[in-house]
């Protein structure tokens, strides 16, 4: 599929990976979790090819894994903050780039049709805000003239599953790896109620290993997991604090001016242009001009 894809669990990791992608950037784990979500028993001989783009989709970190399974192209991401209602558009841009790479050696102007794998878009929500067990986001709902009497000629459907501990238990039951991940994250959050995050994380690693929860994974990747999850937690908290401070600083300047102040504050902290636009309601062009 070309050098712009992540092509396996041993690929170069010079970019910002996450615990989620480290755990599920493996054909066996992907078959397990997709089978659990879809309710399909894939079997041991199923063929999976990882096709993750080396770029940010979820924002700040690489929380996405794309893979081809038989005739399907699945984009799977973890989301640890409030669900982004712009996700269908972001998925559209992502899948377009994958299809562009898949078709590099094909003549798209020839009479012969070039077959492409059917896309499927899945978000696994693991944030602290309450969300339903399952949620559907549609690209067509984003159109300015969206209404039932004006059907869109283009659509993209994203299915969001809440994977916090105790939510969607049937999916967790069918995927021991996902169940272990849910337990690990839940243990970190429970520990953090009575101690610092660093202590909570390190204690959770030890507890999960002792309880045979992701034991082999945590033993083999202990230092990476601690570093990655610390980065994920710090990025999420910094984003929330920055939003609060920036809105307070900009509230006296009027709506438009206030949004620009927020955007400048975000930009100074290295937050991506897309995330700034999502948070402020400004256009990407407005943000780029700052």
Give the integer Cα–Cα distance in Å for 14 and 11. 9
- In the chain, where are the structural domains located? 1-174, 175-220, 223-290
Q: Copy the structure tokens of residue 207.
A: 């507890």
What is the reported pLDDT for 13?
40
Number of neighbouring beta carbons within 10 Å of residue 138:
14
- Cα dihedral: 225, 228, 229, 235 (round 10): 180
The overall average pLDDT reported for the chain is 82
- Cα dihedral: 37, 42, 47, 53 (round 10): 0
- Whole-model pTM: value is 0.75
Residue predicted with more confidence, 173 or 239:
173
Query: How does DSSP classify residue 117?
Result: P
What is the reported pLDDT for 35?
94
């Amino acid at each position: 599929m070309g050098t712009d894809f992540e092509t396996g669990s041993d690929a170069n990791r010079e970019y910002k990976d996450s615990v989620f992608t480290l755990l599920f950037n493996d054909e066996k784990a992907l078959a397990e979790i997709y089978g659990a979500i879809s309710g399909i028993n894939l079997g041991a001989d199923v063929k999976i090819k990882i096709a993750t783009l080396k770029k940010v989709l979820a924002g700040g970190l690489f929380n996405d894994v794309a893979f081809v399974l038989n005739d399907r192209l699945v984009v799977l991401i973890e989301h640890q903050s409030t669900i982004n209602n712009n996700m269908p558009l972001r998925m559209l841009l992502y899948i377009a780039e994958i299809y562009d790479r898949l078709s590099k050696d094909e003549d798209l102007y020839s009479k012969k049709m070039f077959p492409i794998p059917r896309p499927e878009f899945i978000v696994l929500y693991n944030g602290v805000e309450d969300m339903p067990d399952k949620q559907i986001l549609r690209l067509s709902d984003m159109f300015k003239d969206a209404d039932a009497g004006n059907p869109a000629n283009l659509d993209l459907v994203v299915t969001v599953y809440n994977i916090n501990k105790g939510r969607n238990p049937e999916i967790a039951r069918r995927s021991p790896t996902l169940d272990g991940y849910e337990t690990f994250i839940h243990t970190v959050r429970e520990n953090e109620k009575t101690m610092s995050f660093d202590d909570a994380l390190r204690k959770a690693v030890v507890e999960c290993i002792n309880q045979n929860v992701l034991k082999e994974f945590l033993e083999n990747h202990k230092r990476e997991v601690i570093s990655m999850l610390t980065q994920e937690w710090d990025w999420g908290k910094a984003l929330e604090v920055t939003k609060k401070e920036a809105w307070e600083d900009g509230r006296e300047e009027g709506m438009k001016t206030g949004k620009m102040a927020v955007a400048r504050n975000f930009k100074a902290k290295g937050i991506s242009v897309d995330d700034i636009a999502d948070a402020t309601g400004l256009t990407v062009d407005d943000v780029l001009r700052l």
